[in-house]
Structure 1
């Protein structure tokens, strides 16, 4: 069994990853926590029987102590990853870091380089690599079941209400406070595409904008908050009362208030960010974006990220010299259409846990890495490279220029 500490007891840290210890206490035990929110810190400490002297209100407090344990999970907000990670690497911790590594490309590189130089684990939570669904897809592509891969159409269907929750009202709404949309939501996809293609991305181009979730599109009669007597709340697709208050007792409603009662939830909607009208927020991240990627093995990728779907799902078509693979993650099906006429449908095994078991599997793999001092399915440097693809895509969107990755990376180092 390994011992671990958690920095950042938010939704991902507390429920997605650390909850693994409650189900597998023989494998991992949490012995310390750092979290500025007193309510969350107390709840986490209670769940994991952490004594008061091991509860800290800041990451600085935890990392000022002699090394408390072997492993450390860092699940703070995006802009709060770099400093605790660099300090924890110096302390000797083996680290599991929530994605993205940092909202700044140079910091992402520096973190990876430091982990490599010190010989420490720095595993980034690219959960899709651990999903049984995408692991199966990777095996099929490595077997060249459709011949040589030539082109890929890949769509991230964010979902209209998920966009409103996370990227209009939520923590990742404003790129200055968190990250650009392509990094926060789609660094998974950039990592996945890099992994599946098996090559280095050499050029990117991108277009996209924030078009719908703006004050200019606010319906007549709308108010700053859904609880302020909005005249169109009953008809609004994005009503906070519908999404978080009425007969909702699980995610995303539990993000609004830790206490599972309507009184606490209504108070949070009246005072906190999730009660705001989606047309009257301080969001600036895009609600739709496309990107073209060229790899050094001549594979081309057309990537689409959009809020304007019913699905919250990834769909794709991978085209090869002898057939194509079509996928719909939500249906857990991988279809192989051979040009000969043969058709196969594969249904990967499912694992219990968030993100179709990926949250469980990444924790399981991290524990093995700590025990064996081995690298898992990805390294910090590989993750940093996929982040740089996302940064380059955003640079292209903002400048309107095609970006050559080598030039972009050299520019960061100069």
Structure 2
């Protein structure tokens, strides 16, 4: 409230308390934690608010359909924060698909390599490290972006079956190196040489994950959190907190993490097309890539490069294929991958405002109904992985 100078009568303890007031805003941006999305959305939709809702927008199929029904019942617009649709890289690829550049899609290959420091701060030491804490498995917490992109590229064609394999393989107590302690800066004999030392990740790189490691814990009121703002903390105070009860000071092999660190998903669509998603946590270099193979050509690219290639078969003597490079970095920020999520964050906000104002949806607009297939794939993929079987995907409510 102090940060944004909000008056007391615009501060509420719950979504229900807000919903009980006369409607005073055009829409709500719901950025709560995963397991709170639906419970906070329902009363606000019933109160007449349209909503921009963070993803994953539900943590179970039951919740998902409850949200869909409520939005339909109250005729509310709900858009989902699948911001990567709005990254110029993915928007341009989708437009090429719509233009028929590669014919009918036969196969989609999506890959996300989560960097070692991102994986550790979010899914080993952090608040997404356990389904019990955030109610979302890593596939949905980290890769519902990618599942949505796959479903979007095949928009209009339903996914029908999914198989999946994965495990929590690396950061387990039995795999801790000799000399590893419980806390990096307290009882670890190998901290100086450890790739995952809390000192190296959060002291030597003070800004990389500052919000999670310092600011968010203070906002949550952690018992031993220093009282002054994290930007005012001295080096000694940060070290002392990591030694004490700051969860980011824990040894990565002795955390309470139970989510996968890698997972592969194979999907079949109603038209016979297939898709795969490979998510790997702990990569040296973070990256997101996509490869679409169609009946007349293919598109391949990497989000971080903001560049993709279109290839077509060329059967002429001395040739094999033609290649066109689409470089989105040339045009600057209007077309290039600048800003959060490859340039998608601000574009998503602009698109949502246009949608609320009654303008025609863009090709990237992510309505609630259009987001269901990607979430269904994710929910059923985890069932497939846990039960070791191929799982059918239906849309029954």
Name 1:188's counterpart in structure 2.
Answer: 145
**SS state at 1:335 partner:** strand
Within the alignment, does 1:378 sit opposite 2:366 as a pair? yes
**SS state at 1:170 partner:** coil
Name 2:238's counterpart in structure 1.
Answer: 265
TM-score of the aligned structures, taking structure 1 as reference length:
0.83
Within the alignment, does 1:365 sit opposite 2:356 as a pair? no
Of 294, 297, 307, the match for 1:320? 294
The number of aligned residues is: 364
**SS state at 1:186 partner:** helix
**SS state at 1:382 partner:** helix
Question: How far does residue 211 in structure 1 lie from its aligned partner after superposition?
Answer: 0.6
Name 1:393's counterpart in structure 2.
Answer: 381
Give the Cα separation in 2 of the matches to 1:196 and 1:266: 47
Question: How far does residue 373 in structure 1 lie from its aligned partner after superposition?
Answer: 7.4
Give the Cα separation in 2 of the matches to 1:188 and 1:400: 24
Within the alignment, does 1:275 sit opposite 2:249 as a pair? yes
Deviations 1:340-385 (A, max 9, x none): 1221111222264311221111111122222227656121122123
Deviations 1:19-63 (A, max 9, x none): xxxxxxxxxxxxxxxxxxxxxxxxxx2332212332234444433
- Determine if contact 2:117/2:282 at 8 Å carries over to the other structure: no
- Determine if contact 2:30/2:52 at 8 Å carries over to the other structure: yes
Name 2:323's counterpart in structure 1.
Answer: 343
Name 2:208's counterpart in structure 1.
Answer: 251
Of 248, 262, 268, the match for 1:294? 268
Name 2:187's counterpart in structure 1.
Answer: 229
Question: How far does residue 322 in structure 1 lie from its aligned partner after superposition?
Answer: 2.6
Name 1:405's counterpart in structure 2.
Answer: 393
Name 1:40's counterpart in structure 2.
Answer: none
Name 1:305's counterpart in structure 2.
Answer: 279
Give the Cα separation in 2 of the matches to 1:354 and 1:395: 32
Question: How far does residue 267 in structure 1 lie from its aligned partner after superposition?
Answer: 4.6
Change in Cα spacing, 1:375 to 1:108, as seen in structure 2 (3 Å) is farther
Where structure 1 has 5 or more consecutive residues not aligned to the other structure, the ranges are 1-44
Question: How far does residue 154 in structure 1 lie from its aligned partner after superposition?
Answer: 1.5
**SS state at 1:301 partner:** strand
Of 66, 88, 92, the match for 2:22? 66
Range 91-100 or range 301-310, more displaced: 301-310
Where structure 2 has 5 or more consecutive residues not aligned to the other structure, the ranges are 216-229, 315-320, 329-334
Change in Cα spacing, 1:83 to 1:374, as seen in structure 2 (3 Å) is farther
Give the Cα separation in 1 of the matches to 2:111 and 2:17: 42
Change in Cα spacing, 1:357 to 1:46, as seen in structure 2 (3 Å) is farther
**SS state at 1:123 partner:** strand
Give the Cα separation in 2 of the matches to 1:370 and 1:139: 23
Deviations 1:194-245 (A, max 9, x none): 1102321011111111111111111122122212131111111111111111
- Determine if contact 1:256/1:268 at 8 Å carries over to the other structure: no
Change in Cα spacing, 1:265 to 1:124, as seen in structure 2 (3 Å) is farther
Give the Cα separation in 2 of the matches to 1:320 and 1:49: 53
Deviations 1:95-146 (A, max 9, x none): 1111111211110111022112211111111111111110001011122222
Change in Cα spacing, 1:91 to 1:268, as seen in structure 2 (3 Å) is farther
Give the Cα separation in 1 of the matches to 2:276 and 2:357: 40
Question: How far does residue 155 in structure 1 lie from its aligned partner after superposition?
Answer: 0.8
- Determine if contact 2:304/2:342 at 8 Å carries over to the other structure: no
Give the Cα separation in 1 of the matches to 2:20 and 2:213: 32
Change in Cα spacing, 1:242 to 1:313, as seen in structure 2 (3 Å) is same
Change in Cα spacing, 1:238 to 1:48, as seen in structure 2 (3 Å) is same
- Determine if contact 2:130/2:256 at 8 Å carries over to the other structure: yes
- Determine if contact 2:81/2:366 at 8 Å carries over to the other structure: no
